[in-house]
Amino acid sequence: MKRHFIASAIVALATLSCTTGEKLYEKHAIVPEGATLEEIIDIAARVTPTRNQLEWQQMELTAFLHYGINTYTDREWGNGKEEPTLFNPTAFDANQIVESLKAGGFKLIILTCKHHDGFCLWPSKFTEHSVKNSPYKGDIVKEISDACRKHGIKFGVYLSPWDRNAPSYGDSPEYNKYFINQLTELLTEYGEVSEVWFDGACGEGPNGKVQVYDWKAVTETIHRLQPEAVTAICGDDIRWVGNESGKGRESEWNVTPLAPKVYGNSEEIRKELKIDETSRDLGSRDLIANAKELFWYASETDVSIRPGWFYHESQNNYVRSLKNLVDIYFSSVGSNSSLLLNIPPTTEGKVHPTDSVRLKEFGDYLRNAFAEDFVKGGSRVKKINAGESVTYRIKDGTKINCVMLQENIAKGQRVEKFKVELLIDGQWITVGRGTTIGYKRLLRFSETTAEELRITIEESRRTAEILRTGLFMCPELGANSNNAKEYFSSSAWATPGNDGRRIFDNDIETVWRSKDMQPLTIDLTETKNIKGFAYVPAGKVNGEGTITKYRLYTSLDGETWEQDGGDREFENIRNNPTAQNIRFASARNVRFIKIEPTETTDNSGTYTVAEFGVIIK
């Protein structure tokens, strides 16, 4: 039986907006059983962020600092067995780090206080695996948080739930106690904490330790000790955008049926709607038609300025170009997401000069591009219904190539389709179309001058409130000169018996798939002195057949093989399926390379390779 729409059971948390009389649902709404699509859409339009969520999204730019024992072992994922004495910064300088990030325009800095290796950057009372047993006796968390305060930047903590060092990991109640103890130290001893980041990664595999976390207790601890903090990834305020390459979605919805993992019935909801953080659609009408609950759960786009999350000297020539960073800004902040850019401190304990120059260029670019708005009256709030337009005058004779639109998300996210037109020499020309707007939408078009700007809201959930409309001139940037590949591959190479032509065609879109789990042998057709190799996976997050664990052999004649290392792992390849550039301890002469996969993302009995290369330089 269909229930009446305004039934008391509609929502868990509802607040009444004083100005419009609209009922708003802060953070979470429950859809009544039997609600029609129109009714569900109407509820979705009135789900709003909490004050903490809103203020977080308004910051736009957060910096990530991946720093820890991996910085000194040249790894991405430590195994927790490292000697703490390896952590030995020679010139740690928290002020240099914070000042470099501030110059890039970042408002909040999140430090990896503990990564998956369990090594703590603060002298935790609960473990010996920390800075207190390193030659650097100081407290990195204190130094960074103090420098943040000094420079007027907010501070956040990354605390990895997965811990490869803690003996209690996998003994759920014991480890939960340990985890909350460490969290309590971080939330009580370092002043205000604005974001708490709980990484979702765990590489234990099917036979590894399974830890059942007590997210309820974790959330309560945060709310009690730092009520202003937002919680990300395994928290319930901010979701992972779904990739680690800086790409937001074309349609990025803050209101979604994707239940944060801390909700008791999260697994059930995700299974029923067949969605997770990586799904292409997290908020369309088609999807929410089947929703029973809706959440305000905006996305955060985490990406590194270098190929790895931690500092590796070998990547000094692969720092992202300014153009690439600006493109990432447009596809994250400009697509209703927030940008979390990682800048890994070096072994010295500073931001590398190349990165710090790039950050300054990035900050200068954004400050300059958005300094002058050429729309007249674009800051007046406009209420627009679907099918209606609003027209603005443009300052005379100014060159423009970018439009900015912002919805008043304090009242919810509503626009589903819009069009941007310019009146050029008396003719309306469409220069942009889009779906969602949300907190901010930036669209670029060819440089021009125009007399007027017209925004048409083609589809909307209830009346849209446009908070700001702007027009800007964002200087064009040259090609990505310094985003070259670290590896080299040649179409002259062969794969004896495997017929893997697609591997060497220099096209990562064409993927080779094995028939079974037999090793792949590559014949370089001549002996070369190489420093390492590169495996490029099929590309999609959790892509089918991506090799996660393997053994590697090299040979001069294809008969006598030498193994490099023992059982090895492509660390973090599930979340970041990009080129894995693996360097040998020292350069060696090689003609044949053999990779023997021992585990893949889907354990389907076959594996895939998009490209394979060798590292020469």
Which residues make beta-bridge pairs with 30?
293
Looking at the Cβ atoms of 67 and 592, the one nearer to ligand FUL is 67
Residue-wise DSSP of 121-136: SS--TT-SSBGGGSS-
- One character per residue 460-499, x = contact with ligand FUL (rule: CB under 6 A): ----------------------------------------
> Nearest Cα to 386, choosing from 462, 466, 454, 465?
462
> Tokens for 474?
């964002």
Residue 551's H or E segment, with its range, is strand 547-555
Which residues make beta-bridge pairs with 442?
404
| 84 φ, ψ (degrees, to nearest 5) | -60, -25
76-105 residues near ligand FUL, rule: CB under 6 A: 76
Q: How far is the CB of 572 from ligand FUL (least distance, A)?
A: 4
Q: How far is the CB of 569 from ligand FUL (least distance, A)?
A: 12
In the numeric block, the tokens 């393997």 are attached to 550
243-302 residues near ligand FUL, rule: CB under 6 A: 302
Looking at the Cβ atoms of 340 and 610, the one nearer to ligand FUL is 340
Looking at the Cβ atoms of 436 and 572, the one nearer to ligand FUL is 572
Q: How far is the CB of 269 from ligand FUL (least distance, A)?
A: 22
Contact 124, 77 (CB under 8 A): no
49-78 residues near ligand FUL, rule: CB under 6 A: 76
| 533 φ, ψ (degrees, to nearest 5) | -140, 170
> Tokens for 346?
């070096």
Looking at the Cβ atoms of 201 and 262, the one nearer to ligand FUL is 201
Looking at the Cβ atoms of 413 and 572, the one nearer to ligand FUL is 572
What gap in Å lies between CA 36 and CA 3, rounded to an integer? 10
Looking at the Cβ atoms of 155 and 309, the one nearer to ligand FUL is 309
What gap in Å lies between CA 16 and CA 383, rounded to an integer? 19
> Nearest Cα to 24, choosing from 38, 3, 10?
10
> Nearest Cα to 104, choosing from 332, 365, 453?
365
What gap in Å lies between CA 114 and CA 160, rounded to an integer? 6
Q: How far is the CB of 203 from ligand FUL (least distance, A)?
A: 8
Q: How far is the CB of 312 from ligand FUL (least distance, A)?
A: 13
CA quadruple 331, 335, 337, 338: dihedral positive or negative?
positive
Q: Which residues contact 524 (CB under 8 A, 6 or more apart)?
A: 490, 493, 590, 591, 592, 593, 614
Contact 378, 397 (CB under 8 A): no
Looking at the Cβ atoms of 435 and 572, the one nearer to ligand FUL is 572
CA quadruple 575, 577, 579, 585: dihedral positive or negative?
positive
Looking at the Cβ atoms of 111 and 538, the one nearer to ligand FUL is 111
Q: How far is the CB of 231 from ligand FUL (least distance, A)?
A: 15
Contact pick of 572, 580, 600, 601 for ligand FUL (by CB under 6 A): 572
Distances (CA, A) of 93 to 89, 129, 355, 359, 395: 9, 22, 15, 17, 46
What gap in Å lies between CA 518 and CA 69, rounded to an integer? 35
- Number of residues counted as binding ligand FUL (CB under 6 A): 7
Question: Burial letters for 89-98: b for 16+ Cβ neighbours within 10 Å, e otherwise?
Answer: beebbbebbb
Residue least distant from ligand FUL (Cβ): 201
Looking at the Cβ atoms of 202 and 474, the one nearer to ligand FUL is 202
Looking at the Cβ atoms of 139 and 244, the one nearer to ligand FUL is 244
Looking at the Cβ atoms of 470 and 543, the one nearer to ligand FUL is 543
Looking at the Cβ atoms of 76 and 185, the one nearer to ligand FUL is 76
Q: Which residue type occupies 308?
A: G
Contact pick of 221, 401, 575, 608 for ligand FUL (by CB under 6 A): 575
Q: How far is the CB of 178 from ligand FUL (least distance, A)?
A: 20
Q: How far is the CB of 342 from ligand FUL (least distance, A)?
A: 7
Q: How far is the CB of 340 from ligand FUL (least distance, A)?
A: 8
508-537 residues near ligand FUL, rule: CB under 6 A: none
Site membership for ligand FUL, residue 309 (CB under 6 A): yes
In the numeric block, the tokens 């005058």 are attached to 393
Contact 64, 104 (CB under 8 A): no
What gap in Å lies between CA 534 and CA 580, rounded to an integer? 5
What gap in Å lies between CA 280 and CA 144, rounded to an integer? 36
Q: How far is the CB of 601 from ligand FUL (least distance, A)?
A: 14
181-210 residues near ligand FUL, rule: CB under 6 A: 199, 201
Cβ count within 10 A of residue 412: 26
What gap in Å lies between CA 23 and CA 32, rounded to an integer? 15
Q: How far is the CB of 345 from ligand FUL (least distance, A)?
A: 14
Looking at the Cβ atoms of 194 and 435, the one nearer to ligand FUL is 194
Q: Which residue type occupies 264?
A: G
Kindly list the residues in this chain that would bind ligand FUL in the complex (CB under 6 A): 76, 199, 201, 302, 309, 572, 575
